[in-house]
A and B are shown apart, each in its own frame.
Chain A
């Protein structure tokens, strides 16, 4: 049976882990290789590196980091953040990332998803979607300015007439006029083999994953969905696995700051009867 995955997410800037992991005596808490090794030993099922490097020169440092992680860590990992072109994708895959996660570039030109899937396979193609609740009226008026877009569909009984989950970019600051469910279906048709769904309403709250949008997207598509944003405890992971079809749960600070270990988290989920790979 396929197991539910627990995925720590690491922010990296110019090849260094920011908000360094401080739950163990690491010689260098900012070294991605060392942090990845610690999570490997702790029993994490996969890692996501989110590159927040803005500069062009910094991208080469990122590639070098990916190369070192791929050579020294024998676990699956995804690299996202800052991917603008198919050339960026190609460089990351050649450096050893087995999956790349595309966010804003797919909103601007969804064809990058199709190109990535064609060249590197659906299995390597991940799309990051950042939905946020907006009043239906505001969404509809943005929508009218988009060529060819019809009225938004109702997303579920809870949202009827009230709000819409709108795809955002730039950490939730920039609305796109795209309905998250329609967009999810579209990128899967184009070739996305996995979706990382980060609720901009839940992100940073530590109040739990956004069950409503996670459930809706995981029902709408038949590729794996990674729930992201809002995790404050193993209990939140249990909720998202029990109440939605999510295949993986991503978290950052609860692991990085040692609030919960991977092993503790997995024990809670195993005790709840969920299919989880035991930690070590």
Chain B
């Protein structure tokens, strides 16, 4: 019998999940780690976290036979949150480590959202950018979002990444930040949410965002 208040966090061998789990608990949610497709189908809310290389992430999701379960969950209408690599994997594919003969120059992703994941150019916006982007960057948005309740324009969250998503449909972009120009900091489409930043590492603002997700 599924516990309706619980959030399933997918463990697919891409990094330590404990800080995500503890952060969810800190804001009053209940979280458990899942590794099997049936556990994903049963979940009431789902978090796909992850740090590391895109190709490794997809390979492990496929090996553990989780990809179809995640796609089905995204269709179910139940709330889902991707974090960092977990956001990037939702897209059609990534340029990260793509072989020269890759279709469209991409390592394929889950294809739940349409768009590609690209690397920050070191000369993006005519500046000499450090890549990875590492640190706190200010969020901006054009329309209200359920995750942003209690968050103010310009509040900063913690990013650590070299690649970022470029959604085909711009209307899914729910937050932006500026690194040599605008980039997509988060997306929201129906029941699907994803952040490029790490709410679980973003102190008070991050806890607020996670708490909003828990409260959906």
Contacts and interface: CB of A to CB of B under 8 A. Distances in A.
Contacts of B151: none
B83 interface: no
B16 A123 contact: no
Nearest to B179: A2
A72 interface: yes
Interface residues of A, number: 37
A96 interface: yes
A154 interface: no
B212 to A, nearest CB: 15
Nearest to B22: A71
A193 B23 contact: no
A98 B162 contact: no
B156 A3 contact: yes
Contacts of B86: none
A224 B132 contact: yes
B130 A94 contact: no
A98 B136 contact: no
Contacts of A122: 132, 162
Contact residues on B (Cβ < 8 Å of other chain), bracket:
35 or more
A248 interface: yes
B32 interface: no
A236 B206 CA distance: 30
Contact of B16 (A4, A76, A96, A245): A96
Contacts of A67: 18
A75 B132 contact: no
Given A71-B22, A75-B203, A277-B156, A247 B52 contact: no
Given A70-B19, A121-B51, A121-B52, A222 B129 contact: yes
Given A45-B136, A122-B132, 17 more contacts: A1-B179, A2-B135, A3-B136, A4-B135, A5-B136, A71-B22, A74-B23, A74-B200, A74-B203, A96-B18, A99-B160, A193-B162, A194-B132, A222-B122, A223-B130, A223-B132, A280-B204
Closest CB pairs A-B (n = 8): A71-B22, A3-B136, A277-B156, A277-B136, A123-B160, A224-B134, A96-B16, A121-B52
